[in-house]
Amino acid sequence: MNSHKSLSQSHQAVAVAVVGGGPAGLMAAERLSAMGCEVHLFDAMPSVGRKFLLAGRGGLNLTHSEVFEKFLSRYSSHPDTLKPMLEAWGGEQVREWAHGLGVDTFVGTSGRVFPTEMKAAPLLRAWMHRLRHPAQGLAVQFHMRHKLMGIANLSPLNEAPEKIELSFVVNDLSSQGTSYRKVKAQAVVLALGGGSWARLGSDGAWVSWLSQAGVPVRALQPSNCGFHVAGRHGNGWTPFFAERFAGHPFKSVSMHWTTVQGEVVQRRGEFVATQYGLEGSLIYTASADLREAIQAKGYAEFKLDFMPDRSMAQVLKEVAHPRGRRSLSSHLKSRLGLEGVKMALLNELLKPEAHQNADQLTAAIKGLTIKLTKTRPLDEAISSAGGVEWTGLGPTLQTKALEGVFCAGEMLDWEAPTGGYLLTACLATGVQAAQAVRAHIKGDEP
C-alpha cells in the first residue's frame, strides 16, 4: 500500500481558515463564528488545546489581576505594540469570558487568576461545546490531523473570492497513510504556536516556509526555561549535589541581576534545583534577560539572597555569634534557619575558606553569585521568544507579504513570563485577528 497519495478530490473552498487549535486560534474562531463568519479550523494534532491542557494540569493560570500599567510592563519586548490589544482584551475580559463559559475564577495570593476547579479540562470542554453548538453565529468546522506545509496568494486575476491557498499533509487514519489537501480561503488566521513542546504541536516548522513566502521571522528561542549552571569545579553541579538535591525547591528567596542594558532588577519568589542547574517561576521571570546576557557575553550571573527579610547587619550578627562546639551547618540552622538545599548550595559554590570568615559568609548568604552557561533546549521551554516580526505585519496583524493572512498567538515576536501573561496575550491577539479578518472580508479595512 502506498502510504503517500495525492487525492485530487481533496480541494476545498472556505470563507475563513484558522490554522492552529491553541488558545489564539480557538479564540479567533470563536469571535469570527459569533460575527456570522463561516470558519474552518485546521490543526496537526488529533485534538485541540493539547499544550493548553498540559500547562493547566498543575493549576491553570488564566491571567493576572495587577493594574494594567504593571501588567503591560511584563511584556518586555514590544509592549507598545501589544498595548491596544491588551487594553481591549486584558485580565478583566479574560475573567468575564471564562465566567461566560460557566467557569468561576478566583484571585490567588500572588494576584494570579485561576479557575475555581484549577484545571484546564473543564474550561476547554465548555469552550469546545460553545464552538460546536453556538447560541448565535455558525458552528466552527474542525479538521484534525492537518499539518500546514505552505501558503500562497493566488493570482490577483483569480475572480473567486478565495485568493489564499493552503497546502496540508493529512494523517489519513482510514487509509493508514498520508494524503495531501489544498484549501482555498478568503482569509486565514495563522495561530501555529512557537517552538516549544513539539510533541503537542508547536514545532516551529512554519518558520521556513513562512519566511520563504516573504514574511520576516526572527529565530525562535527558549523562554521561561531552565538554565545550566557553572559550578565551582567546572560546568554543572558536583555529583553529590545533583543526586541529593535535584528537585528540591528554594523558597522565600530573592534574586537580582543586571540586564544587558544596565538595569538592575530584583524579584522574590522560588525556584528548583535540577540535575543540570536551575528552573522554576523565579528563574522564568528573569529568563529573557539571562538568555540575552549569555548571548552577549557567553554567560549570565545573578545574585541570590537567601534571607531577603533580614538585613546584612542582622545576618552578620547571627553568623558571627559564638557557636562553641557546634558545626557551622548546625549553627546556621539554629541562628538563621538555613538548612537543606540552601545550605547545600553554599557548600557547593562557596570556597571552603569563606565559610570560616563571617564577613564573606554573610555576603554569600545575602548575595551568592550564581553563573549560568546556557539555556535548556527550545523544545523543553514553557514558551518561545522570536517569531513573526512586527515589521512584517500591519496594525491589524495582517502580513504585509500575504494579503488576507493574519497571525496571532505565540508565533508573533513577543515574550512574557508565566503568571497568566502568556495566555492573556494569546487570547488578545486572537481577538484582534478575528476582528481584522471580518473587516477584511467585508472590505472595511482602513
* All structural domains of the chain with their residue ranges: 4-221+386-442, 227-375
* Residue 398 clears pLDDT 70, i.e. is over it: yes
The radius of gyration of the chain from alpha carbons, rounded to an integer in Å, stands at: 25
| Domain covering 4-221+386-442, topology | FAD/NAD(P)-binding domain (3.50.50)
The pLDDT, as a whole number, for residue 445 is 61
Predicted structure pTM score: 0.90
The pLDDT, as a whole number, for residue 209 is 94
Q: How far is CA 194 from CA 158, 318, 359, 384, in A?
A: 33, 49, 47, 6
Question: Rounded CA gap, 354 and 368, in Å?
Answer: 12
How many Cβ atoms from other residues are within 10 Å of residue 282's Cβ?
23
The b/e string for 232-270 (b: 16+ C-beta within 10 A; e otherwise) is eeeebbeeebbeebeebebeebbbbbeeeeeeeeebebe
* Residue 250 clears pLDDT 90, i.e. is over it: yes
User: DSSP state, 297?
Assistant: H
Question: Rounded CA gap, 291 and 119, in Å?
Answer: 31
Return the C-alpha cell found at 111.
Answer: 494576584
User: DSSP state, 140?
Assistant: P
**pLDDT single digits (tens) 293-349:** 999 999 999 999 999 999 999 999 999 999 888 899 999 999 999 999 999 999 999
